Amino acid sequence: MEKKNSKHNKIIPKLFITVILIIILSSCSGEKNLSQINTDPTQEIINSDDFTPISGSPPMPHIFNGKFTINNKPGPKGITIFANIIDGGSPISITNQGSYMHIILSPVSERDLDHGIFHFYIGSREGEYVEADQRYNIKSVTSPTIIELDLNFSKLPGN
């Protein structure tokens, strides 16, 4: 029998988690005014004067997939979709006909944890966007966790 190399079996999951965390951390941003928590998806550069990172190890990411509709009808292919909290946000993803996948994010700041909700959008962070009817409460997960969540948007951006 051939002996499997357990060293590689341990490295691959660690490499996957590292890549996910790099993606999440590279998509983070901050708000300028702590007194006004705004769920507007426009993200800015993190300002260390008002950004309090989560202490300890970074939380594991939530990975969202599911169907998406516009006014309860299957959404078109090629739409930009993303999610935000307050400081944390996902990289953008592009929809398939009636579905989306790989919206990856986790909280990155104490404000994210206090807010406690993921918000989902289609459109552009810097331009027009529409928020989904659905939101998702942040949960503590011990490993990257795939969540099936169907989203409905009232309209396409610009309509």
Ordered by start, the domain boundaries in the chain are 6-153
Contact 110, 34 (CB under 8 A): no
Nearest CA to 153 out of 66, 92, 89 is that of: 66
- Give this prediction's pTM: 0.73
Residues with Cβ < 8 Å from 9, sequence gap 6 or more?
A: none
Cα torsion 135, 39, 30, 68: sign: positive
What pLDDT band is residue 49 in, cutting at 50, 70 and 90? low
What pLDDT band is residue 38 in, cutting at 50, 70 and 90? low
What pLDDT band is residue 149 in, cutting at 50, 70 and 90? very high
| pLDDT above 50: residue 30 | no
Q: How far apart are CA 123 and CA 106, in angstroms?
A: 21
CATH number for domain 6-153, candidates 3.40.50, 1.10.10, 2.60.40, 1.20.140 = 2.60.40
**In this predicted model, what pLDDT tens digit does every residue of 88-106 receive, in sequence order?**
899 999 999 999 999 999 9
Percent of the chain with pLDDT over 70: 69
